[in-house]
Copies of this chain bind each other. A is one copy, B any other.
Amino acid sequence: MAMRTSLCELFEIEHPVLLAPMAGVSGGALAAAVSRAGGLGLIGGGYGDAAWLEQEFDAAGDARVGVGFITWSLARQPHLLDLALARKPAALMLSFGDFGPFLPQIRQAQVKLIVQVQTLDQAREAVEAGVDAMVAQGTEAGGHGGARATMPFVPAVIDIAQGTPVIAAGGIADGRGLAAALALGAAGVLCGTGFFASDESLASGAAKEAALGGSGDNTERSSVYDVARGLDWPATWNIRTLRNGFTHRWSADISGLRQNLKAEQARFNAATAAGDTDIAPVIVGEAADLVHRREPAHVILQRMMSQAEERLRHLSQMVDPIKRNERMSKLKGSCLCGKVSFEVASSFDKMFLCSCDQCRQITGSAFASNLFTAADQFKWRSGGDDIANYQMPGRDISKSFCRTCGSGVPWSSGDGTKMIVPAGSLQGEPEVAQMYRTFISEQPLWSSTLDQVEAHEGFPS
């Protein structure tokens, strides 16, 4: 298994997969397991507890891990940044808030900075600031996030990234999602939900069970749990969790929750301690449908890589053989506007580059470039009624053309056995048995130096 992207180079990792720094879930053991398996694990710095952070860095042991912070929360306790930088993390990720004030210190420590964005304006700011990488996070992600969805958001961010590696997040929990993110142009992915129920995750056993039984259809974004936990999150972001009794009760009545806050917080705290997931949050995203087993993180990552690789190989097979076949046997052609289209065997009996006055008039150029093939090698694909034909009175000269755009299109020889194809209408390179320039006596001076094909006066005998 190997799939190198700019993200692998940037972080010196084998697989372009980062563990999302899920608060209270991505501890040192999980981050280390992801890093040891070839990805990059990020410890979830969360709302900041220095002792917890020290403990989890210790738990990661000698594994190269990074750490992620909630930016607005970090701003209230900047000493956590000192603590994290002292551990020489492989990457530092900042999400949700103004990363600007932290930039000088992070740069001075020569630690790589990843900034997570949920809007194009945020992405522009991050690019402007010269961050090392951006996570473009879709709304389908678990936990806090914004309103854009991964599929259209990632390419839109890439279009303004000016080469800064873009990491896709939100809705990606298996190799199909990884392959899709790479197809969108992402340099890699950041995964949370996919590792939430892993053996090494710090989520409670009850939360893991609930996550494994959950569905993306049964998640929602809401501020319920921020209110219940007494966290003053900016309104820009809210949190996706599984729906449960608590969200059913309060997500449409946040002001009611605020009015009953004391009692509800007591209920919430008790439920959290007891692992009651009908009240305590299960913070996973829409990718919950794609997670089926509790297993070690390295198994999850290895399967993701195998599946992604299988998908990419399958896709390349979907493209290549037909392309090769097409190159050998079929060419397509169309008029300018596309109404008239056709396909034809790519090998032609002969080609006439004809400089006669009529051909020059027909083409408006130095000569016509007409390919000849047997009628049964040719097939119209569209445009029957859109084709007009002109037959020059008293001469064996005709032109077929599209009624809409006037492009020359193929026509049948008088006896119907041949089709004559204007070479300019082809997409691709025809193979030609014999080429001739014809009627060079009538060629204009400006085209007389085109001399790389056999020459005849009139038609060749």
Contacts and interface: CB of A to CB of B under 8 A. Distances in A.
B296 A337 contact: yes
- Tell which of A62, A184, A298, A339 has the most Cβ of chain B within 10 Å: A184
Contacts of A274: none
Q: Which 3 A-B pairs have the closest CB atoms?
A: A316-B316, A152-B171, A298-B338
Contacts of A184: 176-177, 179-180
Given A152-B289, A153-B286, A180-B181, 4 more contacts: A33-B338, A61-B385, A150-B150, A296-B338
Interface string A313-335: 10110111011001000001010
Interface string A131-174: 00000001110000001111111011001000000000011111
A309 interface: yes
A28 to B, nearest CB: 13
A4 interface: yes
Nearest to A297: B338
A254 to B, nearest CB: 14
Contacts of A138: 149, 151
A151 B180 contact: yes
Nearest to A36: B382
A50 B66 CA distance: 62
Contact of A289 (B156, B174, B176, B290): B156
Contact of A183 (B35, B121, B149, B183): B183
A311 B322 CA distance: 16
Contacts of A2: 319, 322-323, 326
B140 A149 contact: yes
Contacts of A35: 382
A173 B152 contact: yes
Contacts of A62: 384-385
22 contacts: A2-B319, A4-B318, A36-B338, A36-B381, A120-B217, A120-B289, A140-B148, A140-B152, A148-B286, A149-B170, A150-B151, A151-B170, A151-B172, A152-B216, A155-B174, A155-B177, A156-B290, A176-B183, A180-B184, A312-B316, A312-B318, A312-B319
A383 interface: yes
Contact of A176 (B155, B171, B319, B341): B155
Interface in A27-80: 33, 35-37, 61-63
A182 interface: yes
Interface in A347-381: 381
- Tell which of A286, A315, A427 has the most Cβ of chain B within 10 Å: A315
A174 B182 CA distance: 14
A182 B315 contact: yes
A142 to B, nearest CB: 10
A430 interface: no
Given A36-B338, A120-B217, A315 B151 contact: no
A453 interface: no
Contacts of A159: 289-290
- Tell which of A147, A155, A287 has the most Cβ of chain B within 10 Å: A155
A215 interface: yes
